A = this chain, B = another copy of it.
């Protein structure tokens, strides 16, 4: 590739988060900055929630002769010394240009690209700590699956981040089981990125193919957010267009498709968990592959409807029906995901799903049940429960108002939609 860069600066990339998925994404981007030294600086700062960790005796890094190996150590020091996240992504060698950093403010210092990849319950606090610490022209990518839905409204995590830090924030989501990606087994993902044009005198400095006005506005802040003006990326940097953003994430084993639909990408990752519960219910009844694929198909169409109805100005139906973050993530989640598995077990064993959750998940909670409740509360407020028969059926099954056997009858009206 000819390297005729006219740009005096390069992009500094950091990753905020270092769990299983966060560390995997750090590995991906660390490999890519090494392949594109004309665009990106080489070090990837990765924020790690600092904790003490003792290497288990089963680890290849365990050395019974060494006191260091048998005593608790700082996780950042272990990661930087061993080039492995021994706690959250064991046995995966990390590129040496990943630098674990326990301080979130210094992690983002000078970074033009901030990748957020941490459990959603930490976003608020972390962003509070970052206010005033990020470059005004930084851009974010949220890898956090899901959206914050309540009867109050429906907000994308990329929006929450973007608003709090006053930066543009896109999203990454797909059929990506973290361990498979870490092992470099092939998968695809979807990256949504479309910063607004900065102002009329600076036409689309990012070179975005769709330099329209911001698509950040969600359903509920239509009134509340006369948008604070975002800072344009200085001309010394290579543009952050789709080509360059893609080169940060695309690997031979991790294929990236770019889109402009942040809402669709974010919603797919949340709503699929409701669909996975439904698929688990009918599979638990022993109804076979026809019924399971019917539930998945209906689920995809309810995702489309949800997106268009509540994020219509920025959402595209094709994001759900054609992209990895939509149809492919539905397929993967309904194959062996934990929501699917627990729902199936619950029906097979005739137990409440909460009981299965407690027994199987070691204190963790199913994403699908809370999303089903949140989405239902939202649909009730909007008065459109009946327009989402599958999402509503899952809620009512969880509540004990319906049985899994009722699903065909409950969604039957859906198949008549073409005649109405």
Contact = CB atoms under 8 A, between A and B. Distances in A.
A288 interface: yes
A342 B242 CA distance: 40
A73 B306 CA distance: 57
Most chain B Cβ neighbours within 10 Å, of A188, A253, A324, A417: A188
Nearest to A318: B321
A335 interface: yes
Interface string A236-268: 000000110010001011011111000000000
Given A322-B297, A331-B331, A418 B290 contact: no
A186 B415 contact: no
Give the copy number.
2
Given A252-B408, A257-B418, A331-B331, A175 B289 contact: yes
A415 B187 CA distance: 11
Contacts of A289: 175, 177, 180, 331-332, 335-336
A412 interface: yes
Given A186-B282, A288-B180, A301-B322, A293 B253 contact: no
Given A294-B324, A327-B300, A335-B289, A257 B176 contact: no
A353 to B, nearest CB: 21
- Chain A's interface size range is 35 or more
A185 interface: yes
A242 B328 contact: no
A294 B418 contact: no
Interface-central residue, A259, A318, A417, A418, by most chain B CB under 10 Å: A418
Contacts of A176: 290
Contacts of A328: 293-294, 296-297
Interface string A299-343: 011000000000000000010011110011101100110000000
B185 A256 contact: no
A181 interface: yes
Interface of A: 175-177, 180-181, 185-188, 242-243, 246, 250, 252-253, 255-259, 282, 287-294, 296-297, 300-301, 318, 321-324, 327-329, 331-332, 335-336, 407-409, 411-412, 415-419
